[in-house]
Amino acid sequence: MEIEVSDSTDWLGTPLASLKPVEEAFRCHVCKDFFTSPMLTSCNHTFCSLCIRRCLNADGKCPLCRKKDDISKLRGNWALREAVEAFVGVRDTILKFAKTPVPVAAPKSPKRKAAEVDDSDDEFQESKRPRRSTRNRKAKGTEASSQLTIEDSEDDLPESNDGEDEYVPEPNDGLVACPICEQRMKEVLVDRHLDTSCPGEPHPQPKRTPTVNRSIATTLRSPSKKPPAAPAKAPERLPTLQYSMVKDQALRKIMRDLGLSAAGNRPMLEARHREWLTLWNANCDSAHPKTRAALFQDLQAWERTIGTMAPTSSKAVSTGAQIKDKDFDGGAWAAKHDSSFKDLIANARRSRQMAEQKARGAAAEEAAKQGTGSSVSESQHQARQVPPYQQQQPPPLHQQPQRAQLYPRYPAPRHPEQYGEY
């Protein structure tokens, strides 16, 4: 089963390649993954809470600028945490969209383009005509309706109304008329009159709306049987320990109280307790803290890989553990293994010389096989093979340049004539 690991280089080769530096800014410099509970150091660098706590526990220095820092100076960078969560939520969608090929439309022929332009002009002309006709029809219809209204008002007027349509003002007695039977009564009795005793109307069934409203009001007033769950209490941070001031029995008791294993020697107990403090306090910085059981699983995974239960029988593992120690003395290590380094260098030089000699011998054999009988080619070949200082006879001693001219660092030898031997 292949595990897909996301990386900022996924954006390369897409139209959104400029998002690569954006994603790199959202990744931790230690674990190379997206920030998890980012914390800001006193030197203004940001790391995951778990990563920076482990680094400060190891050597007390910032992993980037190597300045001294302390866990108590860490501060949460919540704005960056929200930005990372938002980016991670849409990353897959944006990346999938960026990798989707854009369909390329086929070029259209000039004849087809001209036909489409003509069709569009015809449609535009047709769409214009109905608008004008509709506007004319509306105007004509408005005029006709006004004429008809005037004619109706003139023809339908009664010759004598006999006082039926005359307006009669209501008496100012504080009563109102029923809208159906026009019986006058108090305003508060109109609804009951309409529901029960209004003539010409069947007795309606009693309304259920008041009952529903009453039940809703009762529900709102009465407290619910299940009160809302209280928010989960944030875990409290664990204090650090000065292991030099705590005895073995007290340290084992502290670890048993925390639910940790108390097996092993003193260094194993300190390493296990220190890692548990790191996991627990880093979990307190998270917006979505893990459960205690999940933290125990992380601690067990740490012990199986690089912790107290990791295999240490091999020489390489023990050597690596010594080198990664913060108190490692590099000068003493180099002095102790200086002979080994020199042997390695000598072997490398010897193998290089042997390789060069083999190459020169192979070239000489190939040149001898391809050689011709001409003296010119042989002389040229000898000139190439023999160094110039071996082809000429050295001059007499008194004609040779003095040694100080050739090698200025050495004093010039005295000539025998200076001693009067001749």
Of the candidates 277, 311, 345, which is a domain's last residue? Answer: 311
**205 and 258 share one domain:** no
- For 202-221, write each residue's pLDDT tens digit: 444 444 444 444 444 444 44
The whole-number pLDDT of residue 144 equals 42
**262 and 302 share one domain:** yes
Helix (H) / strand (E) element for 142: namely helix 110-155
**12 and 95 share one domain:** yes
Distance CA 27, CA 35 (A): 5
Pairing of strands 38-40, 176-177: unpaired
124 in a structural domain? no
**18 and 94 share one domain:** yes
Q: Is the pLDDT of residue 43 over 50?
A: yes
Q: Would you place residue 407 in the very low, low, confident or very high pLDDT band (cuts 50, 70, 90)?
A: low
195 in a structural domain? yes
57 in a structural domain? yes
Three-state DSSP at 38 gives strand
DSSP 176: E
Q: One-letter amino acid identity for 55? A: C
Q: Is the pLDDT of residue 408 over 80?
A: no
**247 and 205 share one domain:** no
- For 274-333, write each residue's pLDDT tens digit: 889 888 888 888 888 889 899 888 888 888 887 666 555 544 445 555 555 555 667 777
374 in a structural domain? no
The whole-number pLDDT of residue 380 equals 56
The whole-number pLDDT of residue 145 equals 44
**190 and 258 share one domain:** no
Q: Is the pLDDT of residue 244 over 60?
A: yes
Distance CA 194, CA 358 (A): 122
Residue 412's CB is within 10 A of a number of other CB atoms, namely 13
Q: Which of 30, 6, 7 is nearest to 282 (CA)?
A: 30
**92 and 24 share one domain:** yes
- For 339-367, write each residue's pLDDT tens digit: 888 888 999 999 989 998 888 888 888 88
Q: What is the mean pLDDT of the chain?
A: 72
β-pair partners for 61:
68
Q: Is the pLDDT of residue 127 over 70?
A: no
Residue 90 belongs to domain spanning = 8-99
355 in a structural domain? no
Number of domain units in the chain? 3
DSSP 59: H
Of the candidates 260, 295, 311, which is a domain's last residue? Answer: 311
The whole-number pLDDT of residue 232 equals 60
Crossing angle of helices 266-284/248-257, nearest 10°? 40
**197 and 274 share one domain:** no
360 in a structural domain? no
The whole-number pLDDT of residue 417 equals 58
Q: Which residues contact 321 (CB under 8 A, 6 or more apart)?
A: 312
**201 and 247 share one domain:** no
Of the candidates 258, 278, 311, which is a domain's last residue? Answer: 311
Three-state SS sequence of 280-324: HHHHHCCCCCCCHHHHHHHHHHHHHHCCCCCCCCCHHHHHHHHHC
What are the angstrom distances between the C-alpha of 95 and each of 11, 67, 88, 92? 7, 38, 11, 5
- For 75-122, write each residue's pLDDT tens digit: 999 999 999 999 999 999 999 998 888 777 666 555 555 555 555 555
Place of tokens 């410099």: 29
Distance CA 238, CA 271 (A): 15
Q: Is residue 20 a contact partner of residue 11, using CB atoms and an 8 Å limit?
A: yes
59 in a structural domain? yes
At residue 361, what are phi and psi to the nearest 5 degrees? -65, -40
- For 140-185, write each residue's pLDDT tens digit: 444 444 444 444 444 444 444 444 445 566 666 778 888 778 788 8
277 in a structural domain? yes
CATH number for the domain that contains residue 63: 3.30.40.10
Q: Is residue 15 a contact partner of residue 98, using CB atoms and an 8 Å limit?
A: yes
